Each structure stands twice: as C-alpha cells, then as structure tokens.
Chains A and B, each alone.
Chain A
Amino acid sequence: MTKPIHSAALAAAIALVGGLAHAETTLSLLIDNNPETIAFAESLTAAYTAANPDVTFDIEQRATGAEGDNIVKTRLATGEMADVFNYNSGSLFQALNPATTLADLSDLPNQANVLDSFKSVVTSSDGVVRGVPFGAAMGGGIFYNKKLYEELGLSVPKTWEEFMANNAKIKEAGKVPVAQTYKDTWTSQLFVLADYFNVQAEVPDFAAEYTENKAKYATTPAAMQGFNHLEEVFTAGYLNEDFGAATFDDGMRMVSSGEAAHYPMLTFAIANVKQNYPDNLGDLGFFAQPGASADKNGLTVWMPAGLYVPAASPNLEEARKFVDWVATVDACNLMIGAAGASGPYLIKGCELPADVPPAVADMLPYFQEEGRTAPALEFLSPVKGPALEQITVEVGSGIRPAAEAAALYDQDVEKQAKQLGLPNW
C-alpha cells in the first residue's frame, strides 16, 4: 500500500497559489512497512515539504526481512533505487557493497550531531560514512507482563535460573510462560542474538575471533547458551500451544495482554503495541536477557536503521539536503512525536520526553550505566549466516538438538563468509 502524501498536494497548491518560480523536485523515498517507520517518514516528509515547498516526496513501502533485503539489493544493483531509502545498519549494510552503491554522506554538516557509535555501523570498508540514523536504538531482550508479575509476586530475573524459576511459577498459575511465534521465522532468533551481552561478558574478544574464523558457536560454551536456552524453554513445555503458527503480532498481543508472561523481542515492537493494543501499553515491561551471573547483567543493543542515498540518484543534491536535515534535533523530535519514544535516539541533544511507556523506562537505565550495554554481534562482525532463523525454529520446536544446531549454524556462517569473499575463510 502506498499512500499519497497529502502534504505533497498541499505543497503543490501553495506553489501554484504563490506562483513561485522554484524548480520542483520530487524525491522518491523507499521505506520498510513497519508502522513506526511509516509514521517517521510521513511526519518528516510533511515537515520538510512545509519548510521547502519546492521539494515533494513520493513514498513507497517495501516488505521487511529477507524479502526486503532482496528488494533493496536488486534495486540498488539495477539502478532502480529510490533517491532516499532506509535499511539496517551493521552487517546487512555491509552486504549492500556500500563503497560502490551508496553516496558519501560524511561531509553533511549535521553529521556533527550524530553519535560516533552510530557512524561506525554505517561506515563502508573504505572508511566513509554513508548514512544517518533513522529511528531509535533498540534493545534485544525479553518483554514481560507487569500485571502478571505483580499478581504472581515475581521479580525481574537477573540470571537464567531465576528466569526459569519464574516460568515454572507462571506455568503453575495456568498461563503461558514464554510466547514464541515461528510463523514469522525471524522472531525465533532472539534468544540467540539477544544473548550476546552475556557472550561478550564471558569471552570479550569473541567478535574479532569470530570474524577471523577462529571462534565458533559450537565450540564456545558461552556462545552455545543462546541455543541451549531455546531448547530448554521448549523441552520444559513453556511455549504457547500454537507457537509454530503464531506471528510477531500475536506475540506482542499475548505478552501485552497477559496471555503470555514473556516474549523475547527487540524494543522497536513497543510501537506495535502502542498502535495495535494501546490499552495494554502500561502493562508491558522489558528486561535484558539474563545470563549465567547476576553481576554481569546487561543489554544487547541494536543500532537504528540508517537513511541512505544511492550513488546513482539523479536528485543527489536534494536527497543529501533532506538526509542532512533528518540528522537535526528538530527532525529527531518530530520522530519522537510521530511514533513515540521507543528508545534513545543517537542525535546529540535529542532528549526523550519524561513520560515514556514503562517498557522504555525499563530499558533506559541500561544505557545510563557504564558497561551495561553491548552491541549485537551483527554490528561488530560482517559474518551472519542467513539460515539462523530456520535453525532456531528447529531448536525451538524440538526438531534439532541445540549442540547440533550450533554446529550447523557454523557451517552456514562459513558459506556466507565465503560468498562475501572475506579474508581467512
């Protein structure tokens, strides 16, 4: 569904009435179809056109996940890419071959506002920054239902053991301890990916060794834990009955309404609850995936997506101006207003309002304390196997044991590294 943007018509009308002699530019904008992204794009483009009546936008939506990767890669390669588009940062950004396909955005004046931690995940192999942040940073962890926790007298777990003990009590009370939604296969990866804070707490140089083909999931006990956890919750019978056919939206409904107590997910999903189940937003809480020890408890963090300009854009200058403006505090505040605050924005001086939803309030302390966050592995290493989501579905459905699955994933990773032509593989 592509919505015509009313502001475009409005801007055209203003231009007509005023009889302005500006050269009209229409920038095409390709975004993913997450409700949060759409809200960002609509409010940003409307504001930009209001300030620059000669620039209008043509917004096009695409699928997310592997389907979306496909669209972005193919359109970049065939020169059919929109003037501006949003896409993941980190390893997926690197897979776009950014040094040749994307425009250099390092000299935009407002790059000075962007936090360095974000710049590093949109920098191509030649050292050039090629994106600006689009949206908030996310935490990967476990959503929980605060009301249910209160009723059962549970407290937020700091270790995996405590988490499993909570699950046992929840099951006793006749509720679903952990929601899983394997119809949307990508949602099955969270227990593995969100465990990375715990992996690097045990093995600090895992990312580097992993990229150099030295460390493996199957042979690193700390890295194995994510796969083990997935197996444990299945074996214990803690999942919802329809876990094989439920969707991401089902998962957020279950955990926010109290049908289920936990749902491992990224915090961008808060926007989903805000839109689809606004009455439940107050019951939705969040904590980092617990690991082996309570002393080392922290959050695995996902960088926001970036906004990029293809090197071959015919409207390069206008596109760069728009993207530059997106990196301002004003634009950042517009995004907060449009979709609410789902996490910290990586623009200096862009503060979250005081009345954030409880799940966001649960997440922010991790960011405020030193050493309680770590970037997810995909922002530290270009190596990520494409079959992880199928493999985690297998482990989480009891089709394949965790140890075998980790070894299988190592093979998948090897294939990806070879196809990317990485050194040492």
Chain B
Amino acid sequence: MTTRRPSPYPYWFVLPAAVIFTVLFLVPTVASFWFSLTRWDLINTEFIGLDNYRQFFKEPFLVQGLTNTVIYAVLTSGSKTVIGLLLAVLLTSGLRGQGFLRSVVFFPVLVSTIGVGITFSVLMHPTKGLINLGLAEIGLPRVGWLTEASLALYSIAFVDLWKGVGLATLIYIAGLAAISPDYYEAARIDGATRLQRFWRVTVPLVRPATVTVVTLSLIGGLRSFDLIWAMTRGGPGFSSDVLASVIYKQYQAGFYGLSTAGNVILFLLIALIILPLTWWFNRREVDL
C-alpha cells in the first residue's frame, strides 16, 4: 500500500466550481423534486403529495410514449453503432477521397437539429415532398412518412440516424486507430479472412469505442425531443410521442408541477437503464 501524498492544492480551490455546481445544478435538481409534489402555476404552489405522479402514470398517452421512447432509443442507438462501425472501417481502409468522405459523413452532426427536422418534414411531405415525388417517378406508391401513424416514429428515427451517425463514426475511427497493426498482421499470417479479421480482431478490440457510442446514443435517444418536435410534434395524434414530448405538452398546458414530475420520472428511467448497462460493460471489460 502506498501512503497518499498530501495534495499540493488546498481544498478551497474547489470552491468556485462547487458554488457554480450547487447553484446551477444541485439546487434546481432538489427543487424539482419538491415542485413535482405540488400544483404549481409558477406563482403559487400547493402541496398535493404524490398526485402528480399518480396523474402522470394515469396519462393515457404515457404507455405509448414510454414504448415509443424505448423503441426510438434502441433503434437509433443500435443502428448508429452498427452503421457507425461499418462506416469507420470503410473510411479507414485507405479509400480514395477518404478525407472528403469523412467530412461528408460528419457534416450532418454540425447542422442544427431543428433545421434538419424542418428540411426533412418538407422532403417527406406526402404529396409535394421530394421523396414521394421520386417514388412516384419510378412508379412506386406514395408513402405517408410522417402522416401515417404506424410510420412516423420510424421516419424520425431514420433522420436521427442520418444526423447522428457521423459522431459514432468519428468515435469508431479514433478507436480503430488505437488498434495495433500487429494483430492484423498476426491474423493474416494465420490465414484469417477479411471477415474473420473483422469479427475476431476489430470488433473485440474496438470495444471501448462501442461502449462510448452505445452509452451516448442511448442516453441521447431516451431523452430525444427536438427532432421529434420539429418534425411531427408527437403526431399524428400521439403516435410519435416520446416521454420528453409528453412532458413538454404538460408544460405548455401550464401544468408545471405535473411536467416536473414527468421529468423526475424521465431522469429515473434513464438512470435505471444506463447504470446497469455501464456496470455490465465495465465488468465485461475486466473479463476480456
């Protein structure tokens, strides 16, 4: 055991950061737990116990919102991981114009989400949108990308993938660069095919990048809001509502206590999914 050397910095160095953290994060967080127990119109609060939580769980659109949230998060996170890895492998294989292609893939990450949402809702317009006009041109029927209740959520998830896959690719490219070429050389000498090298060398060794991509995109997917709001506002009806848009609608209606309760629930849900996941990832890493 080593004895800890005393830190050269005094403890009060942490004070400025602690003050900011307390004022801007801790106090609002604790306050939101309190407000979620009240009927609140921004001016007056009235303590009503757990009624807001009871109401929130009674919300008829909540079950659909919850399922949609999970579907959306798993779908976007899964596809970003798989496609991100494949793109990263492609873009590190020494292709011609590789640098250019990398920026093409990364570019959508830089564009405003609202702008992307509005652009795609124009492209996906059932009668005037470019996508359906193109489909009609080659003799295919028009599709109600955002107006068909069973399709809207998936259309948005697709746009989310288009917009977010660049970041996953970037993380994977960094992860691939960290793999020593020696492994590939050894595998090649042993007569491994390209596919075998991918499955047996790349996938296991790029694991830290996978953990980062899955965790980040899953959290992003669970609390995603802006793209959905820009494209469908949760519609048609409630068919593309996720937890965050259900919460926002309570806020718009002026039910501030209720929407705060929804946020506490969203916070707990994300914690419940992400904490075991990271724990599981970390444990597997030790096994390796």
Q: Which A residues lie at the B interface, using CB under 8 A?
A: 66-67, 69-70, 73-74, 77-78, 95, 97, 100-101, 182, 185, 241-245, 386-387, 390-391, 393-394, 397, 399-400, 408, 411, 415-416, 418-419, 421
Contacts and interface: CB of A to CB of B under 8 A. Distances in A.
B235 interface: yes
B237 A241 contact: no
A242 B125 contact: yes
B126 interface: yes
Given A70-B252, A390-B235, A245 B41 contact: no
Contacts of B288: none
Given A100-B43, A408-B60, 8 more contacts: A66-B252, A69-B252, A241-B127, A243-B147, A386-B255, A390-B234, A393-B237, A394-B236
A370 B238 CA distance: 41
B239 A399 contact: yes
Given A70-B251, A408-B60, A416-B253, A242 B126 contact: yes
Nearest to B233: A185
A100 B236 CA distance: 37
B46 A421 contact: yes
B146 interface: yes
B180 to A, nearest CB: 53
Contacts of B125: 242, 245
Given A390-B235, A391-B237, A73 B42 contact: yes
Contacts of A241: 126-127
Contacts of B127: 241-242, 245
B237 A386 contact: no
A67 B252 CA distance: 7
B55 interface: yes
A418 B254 contact: no
Nearest to A77: B42
A408 B64 CA distance: 14
6 contacts: A70-B254, A242-B127, A386-B253, A390-B234, A399-B237, A418-B55
B287 to A, nearest CB: 48
A390 B237 contact: yes
A416 B39 CA distance: 11
B43 A185 contact: no
Interface in B31-73: 39, 41-44, 46, 51, 55, 58-61
A415 B55 contact: yes
Top 9 nearest A-B pairs by Cβ distance? Answer: A244-B147, A77-B42, A394-B237, A386-B253, A66-B252, A242-B127, A419-B255, A399-B149, A242-B126
B200 interface: no
Contacts of B148: 244
A245 B147 contact: yes
B258 interface: yes
Contacts of A242: 125-128, 147
Majority secondary structure, B binding face: loop
Interface of B: 39, 41-44, 46, 51, 55, 58-61, 121, 125-128, 144, 146-149, 233-239, 249, 251-255, 257-258
A135 B283 CA distance: 67
A101 B43 contact: yes
A244 B255 CA distance: 28
Contacts, number: 94
Nearest to A66: B252
Report which residue of A69, A386, A390 has the largest number of chain B beta carbons within 10 angstroms of its beta carbon. A390
B1 to A, nearest CB: 55
A305 B252 CA distance: 19
A77 B254 CA distance: 11
Contacts of A100: 43
Contact of B238 (A101, A245, A386, A390): A390
Nearest to B52: A419
A125 B254 CA distance: 18
B126 A69 contact: no
B25 to A, nearest CB: 20
Nearest to B127: A242
Contacts of B258: 415, 419
Contacts of A66: 249, 252-253
Nearest to B148: A244
A416 B125 CA distance: 34
A255 B217 CA distance: 45
A397 B239 CA distance: 12
B194 to A, nearest CB: 45
Report which residue of B125, B126, B235, B239 has the largest number of chain A beta carbons within 10 angstroms of its beta carbon. B235
A391 B236 CA distance: 9
A180 to B, nearest CB: 11
Contacts of A386: 249, 252-253, 255
Nearest to B144: A244
A244 B236 contact: yes
B246 to A, nearest CB: 10
Contacts of A244: 126, 144, 146-148, 236
A299 B235 CA distance: 30
Given A241-B127, A242-B126, A418-B55, A77 B252 contact: no
Contacts of A67: 252
Given A77-B43, A95-B254, A397 B237 contact: yes
Contacts of B43: 77, 97, 100-101
B146 A245 contact: yes
Contacts of A391: 237
Nearest to B56: A415
B90 to A, nearest CB: 36
Report which residue of A77, A182, A241, A400 has the largest number of chain B beta carbons within 10 angstroms of its beta carbon. A77
Nearest to A419: B255
A387 B125 CA distance: 24
Contacts of B44: 97
